[in-house]
Amino acid sequence: MFNLEGFGHLLLQGTLMTIQLALVSLAFGLAFGLIGATMKLSRFGILRLLAGIYTALIRGIPELMVILFVYYGGVILLNNFAGWLGYDGYIDVSAFGAGVAALSLTFGAYATEIFRSAIRTVPTNQIEAARAIGMSPVTTFRRILLPQIWRFALPGLGNTFLIILKETALVSVIGLEELMRKTDIAVGYTKEPFTFFMFAALIYLAMTAFVMAVQQRLEKRANRGVAGRVMP
């Protein structure tokens, strides 16, 4: 057995913080991805340009730098904006909020391309048929596009979420006490790095295994009725 020397509760707290950070980032990242994909497929050039800049910028910068830019740059931007509005106080950015923003932007940049590809995979004649029978754009999206987008996008989204789950460890550099930060604290007190880092690695492996199992169940459910079809 691993000798946690009374630090087991710290690792549990860090694990729960990691899960919370990953899930909140997933929710916002999915929204960013849908918005980004819609903009990339828009008939307006300015929207396509903005979405292209967003994905190229975020995907071209290391995730650690995105976190640092959001955390330190966010403080500067918020205080400058507040000062422009006449507010004289100081506004701080929490490590959790900065971590969510950075990971959401990162996930959203990759999800934008995944959703864009999934949307373009849906046959256009289905959309035309929905319009022909009088479906509104919202109903067409909900009943025609979304189920198929979900099926085509699930593998890519699941793999991207696994990456984001592991990248939550990077948020420890700005002081968020997630799993890696708690592990480092335990190592500092006990001087047993191998024991605690190995235990943290096993926790990450357990979380990724759980996510992979959920992903497989969701993919199986999303592909009901289309067994045997070749996925794009």
pLDDT tens figures, 93-137: 889 999 999 999 999 999 999 999 998 888 888 888 888 888 887
The yes-or-no verdict on residue 224 having pLDDT over 80 is no
pLDDT score, position 231: 45
The two tokens of residue 146 are: 């979304």
For the chain, state the CA radius of gyration: 21
Tokens 């198929």, located at residue = 148
pLDDT score, position 201: 95
pTM exceeds 0.75, yes or no: yes
Q: pLDDT band for position 1 (50/70/90)?
A: very low
Quote the strand ranges of the chain, DSSP E: none
Cβ atoms of 111 and 33 within 8 Å: the answer is yes
Cβ atoms of 123 and 45 within 8 Å: the answer is no
The yes-or-no verdict on residue 37 having pLDDT over 50 is yes
Question: Mean pLDDT score of the chain, rounded to an integer?
Answer: 88
Which of 207, 5, 29 shows the shortest CA–CA distance to 101? 29
Which 8-state DSSP code applies to residue 73? I
pLDDT score, position 116: 93
Give the residue-averaged pLDDT of 28-36. Answer: 95
The yes-or-no verdict on residue 227 having pLDDT over 80 is no
Tokens 């923003």, located at residue = 101
pLDDT score, position 225: 66
Over pLDDT 70: what percentage of the chain?
A: 95
pLDDT score, position 27: 97
Topology at the third CATH level for domain 8-222: MetI-like fold (1.10.3720)
Give the residue-averaged pLDDT of 71-81. Answer: 85
Give the residue-averaged pLDDT of 88-94. Answer: 80
